[in-house]
Structure formats: structure tokens, C-alpha cells
Amino acid sequence: MATERTLSIIKPDATRRNLTGKVNSKFEAAGLRIVAQKRLRLTRAQAEAFYEVHRSRPFFDSLCTFMTSGPVVVQVLEGDNAVAKNREVMGATDPAKAAPGTVRKELAESIEANSVHGSDSLDNAAKEIAFFFAETEIVR
């Protein structure tokens, strides 16, 4: 299996409820290693740039407002098939549809306030990691 890196964001609904450690323990239990991590408050411009692909969606404005409503924790996760594995650990976008045991099933508040983001492909993972981290900040 290929070792991959993926970008994860613990969203404001989860940091507000002090759930960073609970989310991280799920990543680690699944064999994902947190090789970079920082807590920050996204600016509106950063949120809009990060979610640029969703600009035409009806939820874009609300999503950017939510993502700037409190601190986030941005992370690089590394491991075998990390992109797909992280998406398994997160569960479906809509917590009502997420499988038992997933982060979103157990912790998410709504389809928007769904506690975590994870890259959806290896290509996007590389772009999203570079959005937040310099290579020197990622330490395996």
C-alpha cells in the first residue's frame, strides 16, 4: 500500500466543543499519523479561497461564515492510503448518512457543521497541504 498524505481540518463546531483530542484519537486509532498540526482562525479570504470550487453552490456563503466563526485545527495526516482512510474515519458529509463509529456520526452537528474536512483525492491533498503548510513544517 502507498504511503500518502492528506489535509484534515477540525472545524469550528468541534473546536468550540473541545473535541480536538477526541477527533485526533480516532485518526491515530485508524493508523493515521499527525505529521503537522496548527490551530488558527481562518480569514474570510482564506475560507473563500479554500472552498473556491464550491463558490457557485447555494451553501457557499454560509459555509465560509461557519468556517470563520471560530478556530480550526489544520493537520497533515500520513499513512497507508491516507486519503481514503481519512474519508472512512470521517464518514459521509451528512452526519445523518454517516456510518456508525465515524467522526461525523458521533460528533457532527449538521451537514454544514460536520466537524471535519478531508481531502477528496491525492491531487487535491497536495494542493490543500500546500495551502496551509510549508514542507519544513511537516515532520514525520
Size of the site for ligand AMP (CB under 6 A): 8
Catalytic-residue membership of 117: yes
- Contact call for residue 92 and ligand AMP (CB under 6 A): no
In 10 A of CB 28, how many CB atoms? 13
14 touches 90 (CB < 8 A): no
- Contact call for residue 111 and ligand AMP (CB under 6 A): yes
For the stretch 87-110, what's the b/e string if a residue is b when 16 or more beta carbons lie within 10 angstroms of its beta carbon? Answer: bebbbbeebeebeeebbbbbbbee
Q: Exactly one of 3, 38, 59, 99 binds ligand AMP (CB under 6 A); which one?
A: 59
Q: Which three cell numbers stand for residue 56?
A: 457557485
Residue whose CB is less far from ligand AMP, 46 or 93: 93
Residue whose CB is less far from ligand AMP, 3 or 94: 94
With the C-alpha atoms ordered 59, 68, 104, 135, is the resulting torsion angle positive or negative? positive
Segment 4 to 33, residues that bind ligand AMP, using CB under 6 A:
none
Interacting residues with ligand AMP (CB under 6 A): 54, 59, 63, 93, 111-112, 114, 117
